[in-house]
Amino acid sequence: MPRVIGYELNKLFCDIGYIFYIGLTIFIVSWLLTFNIYFFLRKTMFTDKTILITGGTGSFGNTFVPMTLAKYNPKKIIIFSRDEMKQWDMAKNFENDDRVRFFIGDVRDKERLYRALDDVDYVVHAAATKIVPTAEYNPFECVKTNINGAMNLIDACIDKGVKGVVALSTDKASSPINLYGATKLASDKLFVAGNSYSGQHGTKFSVVRYGNVMGSRGSVIPFFMSIKDKGVLPITDKRMTRFMISLEDGVELVWHAFDDMIGGEIYVKKIPSMKMIDLARVVAPEAKQDVIGIRPGEKLHEQMISAEDAYYTYEYLEHFKILPTINGWATDPARIKDGKRVPEGFVYASDNNTEWMSDEQLQEWIETNREKIGSI
């Protein structure tokens, strides 16, 4: 009898072990299939699709286009901008690539947008009047491009059946004190609301927000490099800080937004800060720093998430996500995913950042990118 019981127990344990082995095998195979399908879909997100980028001859477009061509092999990328000379210069880099097309137009011109969006699948909105002093002294023109242009694009994308739109924003849109920031905040709100406006048409809109783009035309690094031989660099305030992001990181954030969005999210990249006096010292260690005072519309520190935004903001490994407050979307599990809600009163600003760019990191970046700083 004990021998029979022992045999039965042994058989039972073998059966349990076999069932566990089969279950574990199924789990691993399922996980691998899900993992591979996920990355296959990410790899093919833009494959054989048509993408249009407004303001595509700017610094962002000159980085987005070659990176996207290399990674996704889209059917076509259309550069939509109003400066024919910049298009002519940019076209020289893609003379033998028939996937890149150029289209003269202005986001202020709704009819032209409708024509440009024929058979377009995805849109990146990079067109903007963005120089802070220029916007302060030309407010009507800034509103026409940044607000009216956004409205035109939203209408046109919905009517032409575009699948997804990602609009580029700025840290100046959070608690704005200048006209540029105010118009970009209005633009952000328009793109968020565009998801409700779209209804059954299905066009999805989201926004990406980041800070000072290192090396881009008109930014502080090429400006300091262009005048450092004079021996004096103008500093508006010794306490001033700014967020720092590379163009490549900006492109990857846009890719992530297209891949992740349900609609209405504002994506905020986690990026380092730096004091402007430290940046100036790295660029021109021998130069004198002359404090000239803050310019019209300029902040001492930039901010990307305000305390008011914190109620609807979730944290992820490499970014934050501000969820839309309309239609109950701020509590939508599909939009939250695996995010962790930030504490009440949380503020993400360039002076309270936990990540700071060191002198060595900036110097290494400058040496690596010296040839293209300020040229795109």
Interatomic CA distance for residues 264 and 205, integer angstroms: 6
Interatomic CA distance for residues 186 and 146, integer angstroms: 8
Contact between residue 241 and residue 273 where contact means Cβ atoms under 8 Å apart: yes
> Could you report how far apart the first and last alpha carbons of the chain are, in Å?
86
Active-site residue (options: 49, 172, 270, 321): 172
- In DSSP terms, 77 is beta-bridged to 51, 100
Q: What is the token pair recorded at 316?
A: 């992820």
Contact between residue 76 and residue 56 where contact means Cβ atoms under 8 Å apart: no
- In DSSP terms, 78 is beta-bridged to 52, 101
Interatomic CA distance for residues 136 and 178, integer angstroms: 7
DSSP sequence for 57-69: TSHHHHHHHHHHH
Residue type, 192: V
User: Among all chains, which residue has been given the structure tokens 């302060």?
Assistant: 136
Annotated catalytic residue 288: no
CA 37 remoteness from chain centre: 24
Q: What are phi and psi of 45, to 5 degrees?
A: -55, -45
CB atoms within 10 A of CB 322: 26
Element (H, E) at 134: helix 132-137
CB atoms within 10 A of CB 85: 8
Q: Which residues are catalytic?
A: 172
